[in-house]
Amino acid sequence: MPELMTEVDKETLNANAVALIDSAVSEVFGMMLGMQSSVADSCPMPGPEKQVSAIVGFAGPMTGSCIIQMAEHTALKVTGAMMGATMTELDNSVKDAIGEVCNMVAGGWKNRLPLVAATCMLSVPTVVTGESYDVHHAPHVCKFTRHYSFDGACMSVTILYEVAS
Amino acid sequence: MANKTILIIDDSSVMRKIIERALRQVGLETATVLEASNGSEALEVLKTNGTIDLILSDINMPVMDGLEFLRQKTSQGLAKGVPVVMITTEGSEQHVKEALANGAKNYIRKPFTPEQVKERVTPLLAA
């Protein structure tokens, strides 16, 4: 039976949640892509171009998900940086790589939250591609979205979470 | 460190390539790299390859995760004495303790640098 969080625990988590995702994204980009990322005001998705989203779920005393979204050309750039190669099409390698980026961002954020790091588990990533789609979630969960720019491109990270009480 | 054989277990083919590239950057240019996409596949690799020097395994994988792989490897008497290093996003103390209790020698948290791979892998191959 997982330990329940107190109201103080929850306030601590909420106070740190946003800053810690910035740190997690910066670490992933710096160590795995060799790129510096910085917080951006927005990350507009291009019109008809395909988007790529990856989702990793949280389970345990904190439930929810980490969603990263980027344009197709950005996914190619990110994958190319990870693999040291030039990617030209949205193939399985690109989907796999974006899933891994999401996994590392989700894990990095979760592991920075000492109150849930040990007991919260991650799902394997799910990757969605297509045009003009939305990701829906339960209305009562805590949610925040951060945008990041890097090497002339950008992506968005959305965290949805709810803690047991 | 010539002629080493290393088994990389990760459900992500991209991550397997990244780990292999990191190994080749830190002095293991000539290593033979075997791959498996989950613990179950890895057990089959161990049954048919008798000369593995090191195993690098993810924890969070479908079909059979890295912790169950460690338990099965031990119970089936496979790759006795071959060091296992976990490479995982699950970097919490609990996960690390569980992996070490099940026979892992060390762990590397994703994301990682080639230098971190070198620090944790080289002593195990030199031993």
DSSP lists the bridge partners of residue B107 as B86
- Enumerate residue ranges in chain A where pLDDT < 50: 1-2
pLDDT at B26: 87
* Higher local confidence (pLDDT), A115 or B44: B44
Q: A124 vs B61: CB contact, 8 Å cut-off?
A: yes
Evaluate whether A68 touches A136 at the Cβ level (below 8 Å): no
- CA contacts within 13 A on the Cβ side of A111: 23
- A145 or B27, higher pLDDT: A145
Q: Does A61 touch chain B (CB under 8 A)?
A: no
Query: Does the beta carbon of A32 lie under 8 angstroms from any beta carbon of chain B?
Result: yes
User: Would you say B26 and B117 are in contact if contact means Cβ atoms under 8 Å apart?
Assistant: yes
Q: Is the pLDDT assigned to residue B44 strictly greater than 50?
A: yes
Check residue A3 and give its pLDDT.
Answer: 54
Q: Per residue in A83-131, pLDDT tens?
A: 999 999 999 999 999 999 999 999 999 988 877 877 888 998 999 998 8
Interface residue A99 vs chain B (CB under 8 A): yes
Global ipTM: 0.85
The predicted pLDDT at position A1 comes to: 41
Question: B74-112, pLDDT tens digit by residue?
Answer: 999 999 999 999 998 876 677 788 899 999 999 999 999
CB within 8 Å: A106 and B93? no
User: Do B112 and A31 lie within an 8 Å CB cutoff?
Assistant: yes
Place of tokens 């790589």: A97
Q: Torsion over CA of A78, A81, A83 and A85, rounded to 10 degrees? A: 110
Give the pTM.
0.89
DSSP annotation of A124: P
Task: Please judge whether B93 and A118 are an interchain contact, meaning their C-beta atoms are less than 8 angstroms apart.
Answer: yes
